[in-house]
C-alpha cells in the first residue's frame, strides 16, 4: 500500500468553498475549513486543523483561484500543503451529473466538458464546481481528481418516479426527468441510520429529510433510492431557504404573460427570493424561531408552510415505502431544530410515529434516536458528512484505477 492515503475534498459553491482533508488510512479528519464571500469586498477563511484551534482570517478573495490558494496556504502552514507526498487525490462535489455520470468519476478534460454541458440544469451549482475543479487541476495536474455527483445515488429511482407526466418526445429531446440532489448525503445518512438500528442497509426502509439551505426528502428502500423530492433541478420539492419548492407550473406562465416578468426574473424569484426568505424576509431557521418567540405572525406562517410541505412528503414516502423503519433528520435545520422535528411529526401516532420530547430536545453531534420507546417507526437525528462520503468514494476510485 502506498503511503499516499490522504484525500482533500472540495465542495465549491457559488461564493464559498468548504473543504476537508481526510486520512483514509484511519478516517481521521486532519483539517477542515470554509472560505466564504468569494468575489465580495471582504471575504473570510476559517481553517481548523485537528492539531490546534480554529484560525479565522478576513481578507478579500476576488475569485475561486484566490480562495483555493488561500486554503492551500493554510494547509501548508500546518505541514499538510497541496505538495504533500501523502496526498492521494482531490475529491470534488459535483452537483448535476445528468444521465451521463451516475458513478464517482475520474476527472478528465471530457468530464469537465460534460459538467459544462449540464450547467443549464444546475445554474446555481455546476459553474462553481467546474471552477473548483479547474483551479485544483492547475495546482496539482499530476494528482488524480474525482467528481462525486449529488445526482448519482438517485439514479436507481424507478422510471415511474423519475418521469414527469409530459409528452415523451419533448422530455427525451431535452433530458427532462427527475434527477434528485444531495444524493451523497442521502446515501451516507441512510447507511448510518441502518448502523444505528443495528441492521444491514438492505434490511431497512428509511425516509431521509435533508434540511439545510437547500432541502430534500428521499425514500430509501433497502439501501436504494426509490424517490426523492428534488427534480430536474434543485428547485422542486420542499420549501427551502430561498427556493420555493413545489408550485403549480402555470404560475410561471402567469407571471410571464400577465405579470410581464422575463424568464430570468422568474428564475431569480423562484431560486433566490422565495422559500422562507420570500415568505418572511429571513432564510435562517434560527432567526425565524426567534421571531416566532416574539409572536411575529409572518415568521409563524413561513414556519407553518415549511412544516406543512414537509409533512406531505413524509406521508407520501410512507405510502411509497409501505413499511418504514426509520425517519431521519439531517443537515443544518434537521440536526439542530428540535422545533422543526417536533412539528413535522406531531399527531402521527396512528402511523406508528411518536417522538420522545426529552430525547428530541437534547443537542448532540452524534447519530441518535429521538423516538419514544413505543414508536413503531424509529426517529433519528444523523449528522450528515458529505465530505467524508466524497473522500471514501474518491479513494475507492483511485484504488481501482491504480490496480
Ligand X SMILES: CC(=O)OP(=O)(O)O
Ligand Y SMILES: Nc1ncnc2c1ncn2[C@@H]1O[C@H](COP(=O)(O)OP(=O)(O)O)[C@@H](O)[C@H]1O
As annotated, the active-site residues are 150
Provide the binding-site residues for ligand X, judged by CB under 6 A: 95, 125, 150, 181-182, 212-214, 234
293 labeled part of a ligand binding site: no
Instruction: Consult the annotation and say whether 223 binds a ligand.
Output: no
Cβ–Cβ under 8 Å, residues 298 and 279: yes
**Binding to ligand Y by residue 156, rule CB under 6 A?**
no
Write down the least CB distance from residue 7 to ligand X, Å. Answer: 20
Which of ligand Y, Mg ion, ligand X, none lies near 285, with the C-beta cut-off 5 to 8 A by kind? ligand Y
Binding-site string for ligand Y from residue 310 to residue 349, where x marks contact by CB under 6 A and - marks none: ---------------------xxx--xx------------
CB of 181 to ligand X, least distance (A): 4
Between 65 and 213, CB nearer to ligand Y: 213
241 binds, among Mg ion, ligand X, ligand Y, none (CB under 5 to 8 A by kind): ligand Y
Q: How many residues bind Mg ion (CB under 5 A)?
A: 1
Are 107 and 129 a contacting pair, CB within 8 Å? no
Picked from ligand Y, ligand X, Mg ion, none, the partner binding residue 286 (CB below 5 to 8 A depending on kind) is ligand Y
Enumerate residues 170-229 that contact Mg ion by CB under 5 A.
Answer: 212
**What minimum distance in Å lies between the beta carbon of 392 and ligand Y?**
19
- Residue 133 touches which member of Mg ion, ligand X, ligand Y, none, C-beta under 5-8 Å by kind: none
CA distance 57 to 53: 13
The grid coordinates listed for 364 are 448532540
Ligand-binding site membership of 285 (annotated): yes
Max CA separation in the chain (angstroms): 65
Class of residue 401 by CB neighbours under 10 A (exposed 0-12, middle 13-18, buried 19+): exposed
Residue nearest to ligand X (CB): 214
R_g over Cα of the chain: 21
Q: Which of 30, 78, 213, 343 binds ligand Y (CB under 6 A)?
A: 213
Do 209 and 329 contact (CB within 8 A), yes or no? yes
> Contact, 126 vs 118, CB < 8 A?
yes
Q: Which residues contact 337 (CB under 8 A, 6 or more apart)?
A: 211, 285, 289
Nearer to ligand Y, 132 or 241 (CB): 241
Residue closer to ligand Y, measured from CB, 337 or 392: 337
Give the helix/strand (H/E) hosting 339: helix 338-345
| Least distance CB 319 / ligand Y (angstroms) | 27
Residue whose entry in the numeric block shows the C-alpha cell 455520470: 101
Judged by CB, which is closer to Mg ion: 4, or 208?
A: 208
Among 33, 144, 241, 275, binds ligand Y (CB under 6 A): 241
**CB-CB contact of 105 with 111 (8 Å):** yes
Q: How far is CA 161 from CA 43, 80, 287, 317, in A?
A: 42, 45, 35, 11
Residue with grid cell 413499511, as numbered in its chain: 323
Half-sphere exposure of 256 (CA within 13 A, CB side): 10
Closest separation in Å from C-beta 184 to Mg ion = 10
Residue 201 contacts which entry, Mg ion, ligand Y, ligand X, none (Cβ below 5-8 A, type-dependent): none
Q: Which of 212, 237, 245, 383 binds ligand Y (CB under 6 A)?
A: 212
DSSP-assigned beta bridge partners for residue 371? 355
Closest residue to ligand Y in the complex (CB): 332
Which letter does DSSP use for residue 50 in this model?
T
* Residue 284's binding partner out of ligand X, Mg ion, ligand Y, none, with CB under 5 to 8 Å set by partner kind: ligand Y
* 284 near ligand Y (CB under 6 A): yes
Axis-axis angle for helices 250-257, 263-272 (nearest 10): 130
DSSP H helices in 11-124: 64-77, 109-117
49 counts as binding ligand Y under rule CB under 6 A? no
348 in Cβ contact with 230 (< 8 Å): no
φ/ψ of residue 21, rounded to 5: -110, 120
Q: Is 214 annotated as a binding residue?
A: yes
Cite the annotated binding site by residue number.
11, 18, 93, 210-214, 284-286, 332-336, 386
Binding site for Mg ion (CB under 5 A): 212
Cite the annotated binding site for Mg(2+) by residue number.
11, 386
Binding site for ligand Y (CB under 6 A): 212-214, 241, 284-286, 331-333, 336-337
Amino acid at each position: 500500500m502506498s503511503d499516499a492515503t490522504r484525500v482533500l475534498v472540495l465542495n465549491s459553491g457559488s461564493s464559498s468553498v468548504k473543504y476537508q482533508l481526510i486520512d483514509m488510512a484511519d478516517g481521521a479528519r486532519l483539517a477542515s475549513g470554509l472560505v466564504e464571500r468569494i468575489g465580495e469586498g471582504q471575504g473570510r477563511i476559517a481553517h481548523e486543523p485537528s492539531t490546534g484551534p480554529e484560525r479565522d482570517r478576513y481578507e478579500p478573495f476576488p475569485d475561486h483561484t484566490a480562495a483555493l490558494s488561500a486554503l492551500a496556504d493554510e494547509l501548508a502552514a500546518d505541514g499538510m500543503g497541496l505538495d504533500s507526498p501523502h496526498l492521494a487525490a482531490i475529491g470534488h462535489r459535483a452537483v448535476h451529473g445528468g444521465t451521463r455520470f451516475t458513478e464517482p468519476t475520474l476527472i478528465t478534460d471530457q468530464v469537465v466538458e460534460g459538467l459544462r454541458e449540464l450547467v443549464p440544469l444546475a445554474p446555481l451549482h455546476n459553474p462553481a464546481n467546474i471552477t473548483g475543479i479547474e483551479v485544483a487541476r492547475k495546482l496539482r495536474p499530476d494528482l488524480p481528481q474525482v467528481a462525486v455527483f449529488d445526482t448519482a445515488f438517485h439514479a436507481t429511482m424507478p422510471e415511474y418516479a423519475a418521469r414527469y407526466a409530459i409528452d415523451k418526445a419533448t422530455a427525451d429531446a431535452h433530458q427532462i426527468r427527475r434527477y434528485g440532489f444531495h444524493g451523497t448525503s442521502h446515501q451516507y445518512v441512510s447507511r448510518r441510520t441502518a448502523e444505528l438500528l443495528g441492521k444491514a442497509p438492505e434490511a431497512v426502509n428509511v425516509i431521509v429529510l435533508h434540511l439545510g439551505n437547500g432541502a430534500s426528502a428521499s425514500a430509501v428502500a433497502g439501501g436504494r433510492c426509490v424517490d426523492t423530492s428534488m427534480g430536474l433541478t434543485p428547485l422542486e420539492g420542499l420549501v427551502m431557504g430561498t427556493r420555493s419548492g413545489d408550485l403549480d407550473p402555470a404560475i410561471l406562465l402567469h407571471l410571464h404573460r400577465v405579470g410581464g416578468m422575463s424568464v430570468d426574473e422568474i428564475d431569480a424569484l423562484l431560486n433566490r427570493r422565495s422559500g422562507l426568505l420570500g415568505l418572511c424576509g429571513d432564510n435562517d431557521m434560527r432567526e425565524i424561531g426567534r421571531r416566532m418567540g416574539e409572536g411575529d405572525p409572518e415568521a409563524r406562517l413561513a414556519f407553518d408552510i415549511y412544516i406543512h410541505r414537509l409533512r406531505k412528503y413524509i406521508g407520501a414516502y410512507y405510502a411509497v415505502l409501505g413499511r418504514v423503519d426509520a425517519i431521519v433528520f439531517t443537515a443544518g435545520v434537521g440536526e439542530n431544530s428540535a422545533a422543526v422535528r417536533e412539528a413535522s411529526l406531531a399527531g402521527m401516532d396512528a402511523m406508528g410515529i411518536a417522538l420522545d420530547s426529552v430525547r428530541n430536545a437534547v443537542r448532540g453531534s452524534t447519530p441518535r434516536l429521538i423516538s419514544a420507546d413505543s414508536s413503531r417507526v424509529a426517529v433519528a437525528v444523523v449528522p450528515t458528512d458529505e465530505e467524508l462520503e466524497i473522500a471514501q468514494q474518491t479513494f475507492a476510485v483511485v484504488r481501482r484505477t491504480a490496480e
